[in-house]
């Protein structure tokens, strides 16, 4: 099955409210929708969702490269596409979002042609629903506790609280204590520091919050220092995960060899696509680590692709970070990715299981659609 047509449209979708992380606030999600048509008549869709905070190129840079390579993808067989993409965009994290968007569209087309889900292309059995975590990013203690309380009332049993946003360690600990108090003892509470702490701050803060039964701390120190992650892990009782430190398979291998973490967090636009994300998860699980698939704060196409990978994880895995579409004004898909009782339903339709909302894409388009045909 060969690619005969390639479309892409940039978008800019505002967040419903500023989304706060240790890297700063987000007001608009910029990315692009990619569509692939094959010589078999199958069409697939993917999403380019850059994360410069994770070492990727910007959306403008990704689209500039896509303009230069699009004609070289025409006529390419989907089975040989990974090798072609490695040659055209490289194997590192910089243009991984571009690679991810094109590969997702190609896999969506392939799976649709075969009448199966993308998850079934990755694994023999896929789950029909995936546990997901609620995300609490409010910096103010009262707002964070209110958001956590609403999440538990909505059926979530995994809460991820953004950390590294308080003014002091005392405020950080008080905020964590308040959230634990409102969610109760039976809800899993994890923190995501987005690399905000120094090694010393991480150790001191994590030790101070351990009485509040923290399930996991994601990326306590800045990425790029595997040894620091290992030392933090050795100094505390709470499990440690790598997020911004996780890129391609090489970064996961380095974390495994160093015994630096207890789990990895996989974002498809940083991993370089669904298949590469699956390889990273498989390597981590084989080493006895946990694997968590999260969105990249992308729209519905990207989240649906991540959900397909999450459906292949072991049933007892921690909640995945896919409950993020409500943060955006529009998810750009027709179907709703429903969350019931803290679990996201995996679509039954072939491919990634969702349909692009053409009307919404036109509303949020940040430029004209580009088309290349064989």
DSSP 307-319: HHHHTTS-TTPPP
Strands 24-38 and 343-345: unpaired
Task: Tell which phi-psi region holds residue 241, choosing left (phi > 0), alpha (psi between -120 and 50) or beta.
Answer: beta
Residue 267 annotated among the catalytic residues of the structure: yes
Q: What phi and psi values does residue 66 have, to the nearest 5 degrees?
A: -60, -40
290 within 8 A of 296, measured Cβ to Cβ:
no
Residue 84 annotated among the catalytic residues of the structure: no
- The b/e string for 327-361 (b: 16+ C-beta within 10 A; e otherwise) is bbebbbbeeebebeebbbbbbeebbbbbbbbeebb
User: How many other CB atoms are there within 10 angstroms of residue 281's CB atom?
Assistant: 27
Angle made by CA atoms 300, 19, 48, in degrees to the nearest 5:
35
Task: Tell which phi-psi region holds residue 341, choosing left (phi > 0), alpha (psi between -120 and 50) or beta.
Answer: left
Using alpha carbons, select from 269, 228, 220 the residue that is nearest to residue 248. 269
CA pair distance 277, 292, nearest whole angstrom: 10
DSSP 119-180: HHHH-S---SEEEB-EEE---SHHHHHHHHHHHHHTT--EEEEE-S-SSSHHHHHHHHHHHH
CA pair distance 189, 179, nearest whole angstrom: 9
5 within 8 A of 374, measured Cβ to Cβ:
yes
CA pair distance 250, 240, nearest whole angstrom: 19
**SS3 category, 353:** coil
Catalytic residues: 162, 267
């Amino acid at each position: 099955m060969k690619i005969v047509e390639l479309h892409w449209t940039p978008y800019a979708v505002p967040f419903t409210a500023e989304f706060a992380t240790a890297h700063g606030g987000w007001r608009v999600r910029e990315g692009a929708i990619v569509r692939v048509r094959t010589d078999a008549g199958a069409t697939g869709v993917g999403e380019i969702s850059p994360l410069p905070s994770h070492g990727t190129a910007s959306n403008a840079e990704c689209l500039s490269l896509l303009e230069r390579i699009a004609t070289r993808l025409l006529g390419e067989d989907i089975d040989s596409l990974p090798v072609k993409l490695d040659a055209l965009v490289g194997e590192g994290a910089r243009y991984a979002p571009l690679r991810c968007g094109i590969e997702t569209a190609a896999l969506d087309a392939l799976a649709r042609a075969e009448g199966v889900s993308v998850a079934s292309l990755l694994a023999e059995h896929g789950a029909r629903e995936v546990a997901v975590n609620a995300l609490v990013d409010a910096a103010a203690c009262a707002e964070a506790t209110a958001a956590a309380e609403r999440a538990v009332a909505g059926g979530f049993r995994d809460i991820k609280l953004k950390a590294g946003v308080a003014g002091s360690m005392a405020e950080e600990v008080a905020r964590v204590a308040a959230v634990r108090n409102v969610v109760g003892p039976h809800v899993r509470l994890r923190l995501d520091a987005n690399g905000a702490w120094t090694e010393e701050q991480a150790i001191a803060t994590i030790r101070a919050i351990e009485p509040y039964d923290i399930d996991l701390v994601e990326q306590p120190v800045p990425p790029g220092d595997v040894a620091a992650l290992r030392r933090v892990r050795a100094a505390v009782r709470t499990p440690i995960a790598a997020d911004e430190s996780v890129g391609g398979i090489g970064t996961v291998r380095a974390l495994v060899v160093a015994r630096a973490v207890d789990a990895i967090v996989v974002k498809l636009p940083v991993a370089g696509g669904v298949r590469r994300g699956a390889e990273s998860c498989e390597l981590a699980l084989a080493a006895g680590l946990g694997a968590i698939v999260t969105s990249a704060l992308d729209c519905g196409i990207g989240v649906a692709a991540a959900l397909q990978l999450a459906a292949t994880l072991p049933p007892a895995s921690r909640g995945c970070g896919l409950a993020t579409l409500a943060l955006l004004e529009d998810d750009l898909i027709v179907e709703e990715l429903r969350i019931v009782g803290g679990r996201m339903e995996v679509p039954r339709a072939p491919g990634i299981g969702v349909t692009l909302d053409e009307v919404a894409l036109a509303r949020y388009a940040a430029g004209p659609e580009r088309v290349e045909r064989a």
